[in-house]
Structure 1
Amino acid sequence: MKKLFRCLLLALAPATLFAAAPVIPPPPQIPANGYILVDHHSGRVLAEQRADDRMEPASITKVMTAYIVFDALREKRLTLAEKVKVSEYAWRTGGAVTDGSTSFLELGSEVPVEDLIKGMIVQSGNDATIVLAERLGGSEAGFVTIMNEYARRLGLENTHFTNSWGNPGPEHYSTPRDLAKLASALIREFPEYYKWYSMREFTWNNHRQFNRNGLLGRDPSVDGIKTGHTSSAKYCLMTSAERNGMRLISVVLGSPSVRAREDASATLLNYGYTFYETIRLLDANQPVLTPQVYKGAADAVPVGSPRPTYVTIARGAADSITKEASVEGPLVAPIEAGATLGSYTVRVGDEVVARVPLVALEKVEEGGLWRWAVDSVKLWFAD
């Protein structure tokens, strides 16, 4: 017979039992085809409109290109100092001879990877983006295959790419929700490279290039991420900001103007910071419970979450949080490290706002014959 080992970690104080819940107004009206506002750490969506509709991402496409480049740097398949030759295709498709965003790379020149990345991020250079894509994919078409595989791995269920830089087409699409997932993955996995998204300007080939994200100059908490624009996609902006340890991500697609996309993003961020707060509940691998183990070389096993646990709640509702950890037992050795043994549930009042699995933080081997015999008797009486 299974038994439940449960621990109420924080009970409601009597004074809060009848406290009124904070009132959160509906999200603001945003001039855009679709948008989403999400907390980076908890993943909670704070506002959305048509967040799962397929739309043109325009140059926000380059965030996926950057993600793949950063991954190649991490895996030592690429170095920042490596120089890459500017092909005729990259020059003709995205260079100064076009009317699109360009980093003014010279045909046949060799450019360090770090400068290509800065050109792609700061100026949204199509030529720099294509050069990087050709380096990693052999050709842009080869790189597109990689992009779509990475989209699958990241769980971007409504995203498909046909090029590395955001050229519009019927099979080149994403959604506000998918793009927010991509942004969060980029920030979480590559903090050492994400810093480039806050660069205000970059000079290459005697051309001083300015970041097109106007929010970098309007709001000191904003540190990225990417603009986008085509005549069909209209004006798009993926934004992230951090205030007092709380990081929000907004994606606005299809705004009527540059100013409109910036104002819309700023409005969403201010809405999130005004009415919500994010609390860190658990550190990674922090023991929450230490339940008894039968027939093991150890008497007990620590359980916790393998990742930091956050919850985003209405601002002012922190006093109403209850946290409960539970493990189904009896636990019998052997137990592998990482095995799911229970759950950690967080409530605000009667609402469950988070539930995360609790895993064994250590491996417990089987005990000796004497331990096996003694615990067999204990389990018999426990049943």
Structure 2
Amino acid sequence: MADNPYDAPAKAAIAIDPDSGKILYAKNVDEPLGIASTTKLITAYMTLDAIKKGTLHWDDKVEMSEYAYALTQDPQASNIAVKDPTEAFSIRDLFNAAMIQSANSAAITLAEKIGGSEPKFVDMMKTQLAYWGITDGKLVNASGLNNSVLGKNIYPGSSETDENKLSAKDLAIIAQHLIRDFPEVLEVTKQTVAIFDKGGASEQTLATYNYMLPSLPAARNGVDGLKTGTTEFAGACFVGTTMQNNFRIITVVLYADNAETDDYARFTATGGLMNEVYGNWQAKTIATKGIKMENPEAPTQLTVIDGKQDSVKVLPNNDFSAVIPMVDNDTKTTLTFNKKQDAPVTAAIEKNQKLVKVSFQIKDKLGYLPGSDGNTFYLTATKSVPRSNAVKVMWNHFVRFVNDKL
């Protein structure tokens, strides 16, 4: 690493490898700060989860509440233009509007549909975050707006000026779960424009605020998400993701420097952070599918108990690479196998059955996100081994019993 460590021009910043949870850069990552509309990453996760569970469907139609509709008429709230307050919109349109154009009324409508009310949905959001180990933040709504814009429709017990707060690390965890559990979200967040309510009274073109997407002013190759956020309290924020040099990263920038005078400050900060990561980390092949590993501790064969064959060969079930530092300053990497050469396994064994768990871990000052501790992959059986007949199995057990007692 450089003698003069990189200092991201923001109040807080983090970069991670979403596959392993490895932290690749960190600055003030534990302080809860305003997150503005990056809140919608949680709303998006909850929506996609409801669709996965079958309690919500993309083609379901929902009318906006008086509260959500009123916000579409408020210039303080980033939104869509809704002409008919009785018009119903599809979940897909609302999701696109929330994620592409950061439409607050769309996020609120999704929240009310899923939770029954926005406060109940906020409670669901808190439960989800707690499940991920996030307990240090404050959530008061599903949109990220300051409560001052919401009038009487604020979360019980919150103040008229409250706003959502999470740490940069918290947002990295949320984004990691979002793209890991629902990678299809990137098909939405990579869009620069989309049609809302096609053929309806409120048909319009949605336009992204993520100017790092292709053809936009701060475009960067590989960027395909995720979400901007801006309020006076939170400043200019951006949770980004890009795929370069054969590995994906997630970045979080909170309260970017100089955003008062530079509309692209959050993207400049993100671009610099991405350069820092890709200039110091690389993807290294650890295993190749079907090829014996070079590591001397890697087992290639296991002993089969009660099988029609006495042994079975094991090889990597997939190509596997890990993100590692280019320079090994104060860094230690470990590759461990939960079985040794000729370790016993019991028949029957299926071809491609996972038999040896392989764990790869990097030990350094940056560490991993909570709930993450490295990469895992498996060595699998190269062929099936049927179980011996019952008489043979009983005889084998008798012989082992006698040998153990002698």
Question: Which TM-score band (shorter chain)?
Answer: 0.7 to 0.9
Counterpart residue identity of residue 182, structure 1 = I
1:246 correspondence with 2:247: yes
Write the distance in 2 (CA, Å) between the matches of 1:322 and 1:341: 20
> Given the two structures, how large is their TM-score scaled by the length of structure 1?
0.78
Match runs of 1:119-198 below 5 Å: 119-168=97-146, 172-198=164-190
Unaligned runs of 5+ residues in structure 2 are 147-160, 197-201, 293-298, 368-372
Counterpart of 1:73?
Answer: 51
Cα shift at 1:273: 1.5
1:271 to 276, 281, 287: 276
Counterpart of 2:156?
Answer: none
User: Does structure 2 conserve the Cα–Cα contact (< 8 Å) formed by 1:226 and 1:238?
Assistant: yes
- CA 71–346 in structure 1, closer or farther in 2 if over 3 Å, else same: closer
Counterpart residue identity of residue 162, structure 1 = V
- CA 299–198 in structure 1, closer or farther in 2 if over 3 Å, else same: same
Counterpart of 1:90?
Answer: 68
Counterpart of 1:36?
Answer: 14
Q: Which moved more, 1:335-344 or 1:277-286?
A: 335-344
Counterpart of 2:264?
Answer: 259
Counterpart residue identity of residue 263, structure 1 = T
User: Does structure 1 conserve the Cα–Cα contact (< 8 Å) formed by 2:19 and 2:375?
Assistant: no
Counterpart of 1:331?
Answer: 344
- CA 156–290 in structure 1, closer or farther in 2 if over 3 Å, else same: farther
SS in 2 for 1:291: strand
User: Does structure 1 conserve the Cα–Cα contact (< 8 Å) formed by 2:289 and 2:319?
Assistant: yes
Write the distance in 2 (CA, Å) between the matches of 1:171 and 1:366: 65
Cα shift at 1:187: 1.6
Per-residue CA distance 1:79-136 (angstroms, 9 max, x = gap):
22221101101123x3222511111234222112221111101110110111111111
SS in 1 for 2:34: coil
Cα shift at 1:156: 3.2
Between Structure 1 and Structure 2, which shows a larger proportion of helix residues? 1
Write the distance in 2 (CA, Å) between the matches of 1:363 and 1:232: 63
Counterpart of 2:149?
Answer: none
> Given the two structures, how large is their TM-score scaled by the length of structure 2?
0.74
SS in 2 for 1:327: coil
Q: Which moved more, 1:94-103 or 1:42-51?
A: 94-103
Write the distance in 2 (CA, Å) between the matches of 1:155 and 1:95: 34
Q: Which moved more, 1:285-294 or 1:159-168?
A: 285-294
- CA 171–130 in structure 1, closer or farther in 2 if over 3 Å, else same: closer
SS in 1 for 2:42: helix
1:371 correspondence with 2:393: yes
Counterpart residue identity of residue 193, structure 2 = E
1:344 to 358, 365, 387: 358
Write the distance in 1 (CA, Å) between the matches of 2:7 and 2:86: 48
Per-residue CA distance 1:184-220 (angstroms, 9 max, x = gap):
2222222333211011124543654421112112213
Write the distance in 2 (CA, Å) between the matches of 1:306 and 1:149: 36
Per-residue CA distance 1:292-311 (angstroms, 9 max, x = gap):
13245664467688997541
Counterpart of 1:311?
Answer: 322
Write the distance in 1 (CA, Å) between the matches of 2:124 and 2:289: 31
- CA 336–269 in structure 1, closer or farther in 2 if over 3 Å, else same: same
Cα shift at 1:38: 0.9
Cα shift at 1:285: 11
1:113 correspondence with 2:91: yes
Counterpart of 1:14?
Answer: none
Counterpart of 1:291?
Answer: 302
Amino-acid identity (%): 25
Counterpart of 1:4?
Answer: none
1:213 correspondence with 2:210: yes
Counterpart of 1:18?
Answer: none
Counterpart residue identity of residue 177, structure 1 = K
SS in 1 for 2:13: strand
User: Does structure 1 conserve the Cα–Cα contact (< 8 Å) formed by 2:36 and 2:163?
Assistant: no
SS in 1 for 2:122: helix
Cα shift at 1:378: 5.9
Write the distance in 2 (CA, Å) between the matches of 1:369 and 1:306: 34
- CA 99–307 in structure 1, closer or farther in 2 if over 3 Å, else same: farther
Cα shift at 1:252: 0.7
Counterpart residue identity of residue 311, structure 1 = A
Cα shift at 1:47: 0.5
Unaligned runs of 5+ residues in structure 1 are 1-22
Q: Which protein has greater RCO, CA pairs closer than 8 Å, 6+ apart?
A: 1
Per-residue CA distance 1:261-309 (angstroms, 9 max, x = gap):
1111000111111221123545899997441132456644676889975
SS in 1 for 2:33: coil
User: Does structure 1 conserve the Cα–Cα contact (< 8 Å) formed by 2:223 and 2:240?
Assistant: yes
Counterpart of 1:229?
Answer: 230
Question: How many corresponding residue pairs?
Answer: 358
Counterpart residue identity of residue 29, structure 1 = D
Write the distance in 1 (CA, Å) between the matches of 2:227 and 2:405: 60
